[in-house]
Homo-oligomer: A and B are copies of this chain.
Amino acid sequence: MSLRQSEVIAPCPSDPASQRAVAAARRVVETLVRHTFSSGSELASAAATLEQLADRLELSSPTAQAVVDGLERRERYSRHDPVSGAHNPFAPPVEVVGRSDGSVAGSVRFGLPHQGPPGLVHGGVLAMVLDHVLALANSWAGTIGMTGGLELRYLRPTPLFADLQVTARQERLEGRKILTSGEITLDGEPCVTASGLFVAFPAPTPAPTGR
């Protein structure tokens, strides 16, 4: 594994219009959740606006299947993934950089759409993020694979609206097995830890992907 300077693995979209649209969609999702909690009066009007927009976008977009079919010729980890994907409004997003010591690090702040118990991040959302950041650590280390197993330990409640750190590192390779670990911390204290077993794709990977 080559040692490089810190490098953004999941960058912001280079297209300003896409960046604006994705950021605004995240705001709409967040405010809609707040609004439905209070049975807000704007919901019928918001529904009409969103339906019209979805109709318009559907007319001018490729089908989902066409997008998937086109992906075979592209990088495996794209900017559209559900965790760090700058082009995907579903992604919180987690912004991740590769570090020169071989590990990756990111930061994330969760909001109301990611809530489990009151005021706390949903445990499943934390699992989703860790799975992905472990995969990014594999990508950064140069050998990627499919998740075979994932073990999570929840050490303490993880609050919403807090600046959380996520780190991960590929520990070792055993044949096609890739062993990778990571954690989510708040102020340096671990909230959740993860150990992953990944199965390397048959062909060697030439370089970290996702860029």
Query: Which residue of chain B lies nearest to A16 when distances are taken between CB atoms in the complex?
Result: B44
Per-position binary interface string of chain A over residues 1-41, scored 1 when its CB falls under 8 Å from any chain B CB and 0 otherwise: 00000000000010101101111110111111111111111
Give residues 68-86 of A contacting B (CB, 8 Å).
68, 70-72, 74, 76, 80-83
Per-position binary interface string of chain A over residues 47-66, scored 1 when its CB falls under 8 Å from any chain B CB and 0 otherwise: 10111011011101111110
A190 contacts the other chain (CB 8 A): no
Known: A67-B112, A132-B124, A154-B149. A32 touches B25 (CB 8 A): yes
A107 contacts the other chain (CB 8 A): no
A187 contacts the other chain (CB 8 A): no
Count chain B CB atoms within 10 A of each CB in A13, A74, A147 and give the residue with the most.
A147
A90: contacting residue among B113, B118, B119, CB under 8 A: B113
Known: A117-B76, A146-B154, A154-B146. A32 touches B28 (CB 8 A): no
Per-position binary interface string of chain A over residues 120-152, scored 1 when its CB falls under 8 Å from any chain B CB and 0 otherwise: 001111011111100100000000001111111
List the B side residues contacting A99 at CB < 8 Å: none
| Cβ-defined contact, B128 with A147, below 8 A | no
CB proximity of A135 to chain B, nearest CB, Å: 8
A111 contacts the other chain (CB 8 A): yes
A169 contacts the other chain (CB 8 A): no
A173 contacts the other chain (CB 8 A): no
Interface residues of A, Cβ cutoff 8 Å to B = 13, 15, 17-18, 20-25, 27-47, 49-51, 53-54, 56-58, 60-65, 67-68, 70-72, 74, 76, 80-83, 87-90, 111-119, 122-125, 127-132, 135, 146-154, 157, 160-161
